[in-house]
Structure 1
Amino acid sequence: MRIDEAFRRVVGGYWWLIGLLVLLPVIAAASYGSHQAPRYQAVARLQMSGGLASTNVQADAATQWLQGVVTSPNLVQKAMVAGGLTGDPTAFALESVAVNRIGVSTVNEVSVVTDSPDRSVVVASSLVDQAMSMANGTRESDATKMDALNKEIAQVTASRDALIKELATAKPGPVLSLQARIASMEPILADLLRQRSDLALASSSRSSIGLIDQARALPDPVGIGVPQMVALAALAGLLLGLGVAALLEAVRPRVRGRSWVAAELGAPLLGHLPTTDLTSRAAARAVSEFGASLAMIARRFRGQSLLLLPVEPRDRAWCGRAAEELSTLTGIQIDHRLSDAPEIVGLHGADSEEESPVVVALARTVVSQRRLEDFAARSAAMGWPVVGVLTFRRRWSNRVSIRWPVTTRDTAAAGKGSGSRDSATLNAPTHASDSLETGAITRPKARRIP
């Protein structure tokens, strides 16, 4: 199957389904987007302690620490109260609070999204203030402890130095007492120096936050806009429609287009009837073109019967009427029943006195591929060449009831089967030999192409 044929079958045959599956998501997305309240984002930029991050792991550690602080339910609850918001703080933190790192650095942005730019600014400012208070408050406490230790160390050092000076001028009697006092101060001073060293080391490893930019609201709403949402919905609907159409075509393959129907049967397209009313103006030109093409076929197969046979059994009745009207309009005898064809001889090998007929296939512009394959296979098995294809389009306005003249045999059969004595008109008879799907064929009256 060529690409253009596949495109015609999938897209051309199921364009209404594809269009429907595209239109419905577009309408739903447009309706959903138009009823959504705009949401605004406020952003504050912070500098974590440590300066430049030496590794990506170090930068990630600082960001994760800040994210863990600003998304904690207790801090989020206080920020929501400050912004006049209600609800679950955990859900609000997951949906509306985010921390984004700027490159491989310790600079981070805290963003908050709400339905109001002012509320976003208030909530973001509250979260940043609480995080700074938590991080910087520990360092302030360390500084206070460091000052107290420095004062105590200075006092002990001053006392020890005074005793040392006193020892230098002391008489032999109090020397031992002064030396004992100085020796007792050394452990105390050493312990204070150790505490200061530990405190300095712990303070240097603790995080601190510096505010670079105050929280400010972005001027434009955030999130996917209605045009983007509609475009995504259209794309999703298109992919879904193509998939469904391809699946339907794989389950029930159909040939669409007059030229493709003729190509499937391996025969030339002799004509196309735009309407089933062959006496209308719309069909006059089509019948004239078909007559010209049929005249060329008649010259090639002079002396052989010409059968107009439907590809689909449901078109048998209209095929009979069309054969009679086309015979009248073109001047070429066209048969439509297999009983008008030469008899097929059995397995004894006797040749028929009559030559095999030639077939013109009557098909709709959209027909099942299996029907076409079955028609071609049966025609080839009978040895009847398909010399042309006549396509037609049957509109709803053209689906009229076809009535046939009543013969004596038809009246008797109708009266015997139903008890009716209506001899005016009768629906088109359905013969067992009216299509290539039968097996019994009777000898015809001789009808040949003139």
Structure 2
Amino acid sequence: MEFNETLRRTAGGHWRVLVLFIVLPILVVGALEFGNARTYVSRARIQASATLPQTDVQANAMLSRVKAVATSGSVIKPALKQAKVTDRTQGRVAREIRISRLGGSSVFNIEVTDRDPRTAEKLAGAVSEQLVHFFNGTGNLLVTQLTDRENTLQEQRTRIAAQLPQATSPAQSGQLTAKLGALDQQILDVQGSLRAAQAAGLGDRTASLLSSASDAVRLPALTATGLVLAGAIGLVAGLLAVSLLEVVRPHVPGQSAFAREFDAPVLGRLPRPARGGRDAPETDAESVVALRRAAARAGAGTVVLTGPGGEERLALLARALQTRLTSVRGPDETGPAASGADAGEPYPTGPKTGDNHGRELPEWLRTSPGHTATALADGRVAEQSRVAHNATRSLSVRALHEVDDATDPAPHVLVPVEPDLPSHAELSRVRNLVATTGWPVIGVLGDPVRPRGADTERTERT
């Protein structure tokens, strides 16, 4: 199956389902957003450290640390106390804090959202100030501990090193030397941790408040990103749904694919009926000509219409085609040739001096030898047109339920009248009909009207 045919079966055949799946999530998201209380956001800006990150890894590590500190109880609890906000829990405030970094620097934006604009401003200011205080004071607790640990180890090493010259035995000297080695290793480890902390900007005490909390602004109820995301999710769900529908009830991708199954052409497409004229089928000249020539080539006596459009519509279409086919004027009814004694003669009659399929050549043609070959060819064409026209006059068009083998001229041929996307069950039905009756399919007519269900048709009949 070609890609465009697959796309037509899924997207083209079930576009209403896709539209429903796309629009419904957007409406749900919009309703939820409008139903929520109005929220406001206030922003502040701080510099966590004067030491610039040297790599992206360091910048990301600093961002993660600022987020962890800003949403911790060490910052939120004193911030609530400073802002004198008593009706908000620490967990709720932590969920409303957003931290973002400016490029690869150590400057961060602090955003706090709340239903009350005044509360958002107070919390944003208090949280940013507590962050700066943490980085310059309590936040350096690790550096302070590492420094104190290094000083303690250095004092122990100095004391043991002073005892080493006073050792009275080799065993005592070996013990003191081993202790010095262990202390040296511990001092190296502490110094390494201290350098790492200082490289991360934890020990320079250079955090500062760059801008205090701004006036709270109202957040938009609907965001384009949310709507696009909801629509994309709906589109994916809709494609899955229509794929399952095609698995359960497959369709044939158009009249061309339907006709290829029977090695037959598409004779044409019926014009779309006017508004309110659903059951008044019309036929265009191209479809009538194609049907007439296809029936003549097959030597058909009766053209049988079948399809999912309903018996009443097929009967109306059969009568319209019958009228159009029998009302066509042939070459024996118009033009100069009609002036002969026989209205069916392709040219005037005269003395028989030549043979043109049983016809005698006229006097004017016998006296013009240079035009004899052309006249003979024109005579053959006229004769073929006359025969085809006579065959059209005897051609009968019937709906399948109106076929009467006793009165309708044989042989019979089938012309399915199919919608844009016929069901696979309809294809199987026509195949079974061909196999049962032996009637060949000479072509397919496209019907722009969607087939109606049996219940609807029974209701209209009633």
TM-score (norm: length of structure 2): 0.56
| Aligned with residue 359 of structure 1, among 395, 404, 414 | 414
Whether the 8 Å contact between 1:44 and 1:110 is mirrored in structure 2 is: yes
Displacement of 1:317: 4.2
Residues 299-318 of structure 1 deviation map (CA, whole Å, 9 limit, x = unaligned): 2123x432313133x72343
- Per the alignment, in what secondary structure is the counterpart of residue 396 of structure 2? coil
Q: Write the distance in 1 (CA, Å) between the matches of 2:444 and 2:129.
A: 80
Question: 1:266 and 1:81, CA in 2 relative to 1: closer, same or farther beyond 3 A?
Answer: farther
Q: Write the distance in 2 (CA, Å) between the matches of 1:234 and 1:276.
A: 35
Residues 46-75 of structure 1 deviation map (CA, whole Å, 9 limit, x = unaligned): 228xx6889999988877776655443253
Partner of 2:229: 232
Whether the 8 Å contact between 1:69 and 1:131 is mirrored in structure 2 is: no
Partner of 2:27: 27
Residues 270-319 of structure 1 deviation map (CA, whole Å, 9 limit, x = unaligned): 23333679xx8x979725333312221232123x432313133x723433
Displacement of 1:25: 2.2
Q: Write the distance in 1 (CA, Å) between the matches of 2:57 and 2:426.
A: 68
Matched length: 335
Question: 1:402 and 1:290, CA in 2 relative to 1: closer, same or farther beyond 3 A?
Answer: farther
1:73 aligns with 2:60: no
1:134 aligns with 2:154: no
- Per the alignment, in what secondary structure is the counterpart of residue 49 of structure 2? strand
Question: 1:114 and 1:377, CA in 2 relative to 1: closer, same or farther beyond 3 A?
Answer: same
| Aligned with residue 404 of structure 2, among 332, 337, 340 | 340
Q: Write the distance in 2 (CA, Å) between the matches of 1:61 and 1:337.
A: 78
Partner of 2:306: 310
Partner of 2:126: 122
| Aligned with residue 330 of structure 1, among 325, 329, 339 | 325
1:245 aligns with 2:242: yes
Question: 1:286 and 1:62, CA in 2 relative to 1: closer, same or farther beyond 3 A?
Answer: closer
Question: 1:135 and 1:367, CA in 2 relative to 1: closer, same or farther beyond 3 A?
Answer: closer
Partner of 1:46: 48
Displacement of 1:134: 1.6
Displacement of 1:125: 0.8
Question: 1:40 and 1:239, CA in 2 relative to 1: closer, same or farther beyond 3 A?
Answer: farther
Whether the 8 Å contact between 2:303 and 2:412 is mirrored in structure 1 is: yes
Whether the 8 Å contact between 2:6 and 2:253 is mirrored in structure 1 is: no
Displacement of 1:375: 0.9
Q: Write the distance in 1 (CA, Å) between the matches of 2:89 and 2:203.
A: 29
Residues 315-343 of structure 1 deviation map (CA, whole Å, 9 limit, x = unaligned): 2343344324432332231234586349x
Residues 156-193 of structure 1 deviation map (CA, whole Å, 9 limit, x = unaligned): xxxxxxxxxxxxxxxxxxxxxxxxxxxxxxxxxxxxxx
Partner of 2:366: none
Q: Write the distance in 2 (CA, Å) between the matches of 1:273 and 1:128.
A: 78
- Per the alignment, in what secondary structure is the counterpart of residue 290 of structure 1? helix
Q: Write the distance in 2 (CA, Å) between the matches of 1:271 and 1:67.
A: 69
Partner of 2:89: 88
Moved more, 259-268 or 73-82: 259-268
Unaligned runs of 5+ in 1: 147-193, 343-353, 404-426, 429-450
Question: 1:260 and 1:100, CA in 2 relative to 1: closer, same or farther beyond 3 A?
Answer: same
1:374 aligns with 2:429: yes
Residues 123-272 of structure 1: pairs in structure 2 closer than 5 A = 123-135=127-139, 205=194, 208-216=203-211, 217=213, 226-255=223-252, 257-272=254-269
Question: 1:39 and 1:401, CA in 2 relative to 1: closer, same or farther beyond 3 A?
Answer: same
Matched-pair identity in %: 24
Question: 1:364 and 1:66, CA in 2 relative to 1: closer, same or farther beyond 3 A?
Answer: closer
Letter of the aligned partner of 1:301 in structure 2? A
- Per the alignment, in what secondary structure is the counterpart of residue 335 of structure 1? strand
1:387 aligns with 2:442: yes
Whether the 8 Å contact between 2:270 and 2:448 is mirrored in structure 1 is: yes
Displacement of 1:261: 3.8
- Per the alignment, in what secondary structure is the counterpart of residue 92 of structure 1? helix
Residues 219-242 of structure 1 deviation map (CA, whole Å, 9 limit, x = unaligned): 988899712222222222222222
Letter of the aligned partner of 2:396 in structure 1? Q
Unaligned runs of 5+ in 2: 115-119, 151-182, 327-394
Partner of 1:179: none
Residues 351-391 of structure 1 deviation map (CA, whole Å, 9 limit, x = unaligned): xxx97532122333442122113312441454321001223
Q: Write the distance in 2 (CA, Å) between the matches of 1:99 and 1:360.
A: 69
- Per the alignment, in what secondary structure is the counterpart of residue 47 of structure 1? coil
Displacement of 1:214: 0.8
Q: Write the distance in 1 (CA, Å) between the matches of 2:459 and 2:144.
A: 102
Give the greater-gyration-radius structure (CA): 1
Question: 1:355 and 1:120, CA in 2 relative to 1: closer, same or farther beyond 3 A?
Answer: same
Question: 1:218 and 1:261, CA in 2 relative to 1: closer, same or farther beyond 3 A?
Answer: farther
Q: Write the distance in 1 (CA, Å) between the matches of 2:228 and 2:72.
A: 37
Partner of 2:286: 289
Whether the 8 Å contact between 2:302 and 2:410 is mirrored in structure 1 is: no
Whether the 8 Å contact between 1:46 and 1:209 is mirrored in structure 2 is: no
Letter of the aligned partner of 1:386 in structure 2? V
Moved more, 257-266 or 379-388: 257-266
- Per the alignment, in what secondary structure is the counterpart of residue 390 of structure 1? strand
Q: Write the distance in 2 (CA, Å) between the matches of 1:275 and 1:65.
A: 68
Whether the 8 Å contact between 1:46 and 1:109 is mirrored in structure 2 is: yes
- Per the alignment, in what secondary structure is the counterpart of residue 209 of structure 2? strand
Question: 1:306 and 1:300, CA in 2 relative to 1: closer, same or farther beyond 3 A?
Answer: same
Question: 1:276 and 1:308, CA in 2 relative to 1: closer, same or farther beyond 3 A?
Answer: farther
Displacement of 1:208: 3.1
Whether the 8 Å contact between 2:280 and 2:313 is mirrored in structure 1 is: no
Q: Write the distance in 2 (CA, Å) between the matches of 1:324 and 1:14.
A: 33
Displacement of 1:81: 2.7
Partner of 2:5: 5
Displacement of 1:128: 2.4
Question: 1:223 and 1:92, CA in 2 relative to 1: closer, same or farther beyond 3 A?
Answer: farther
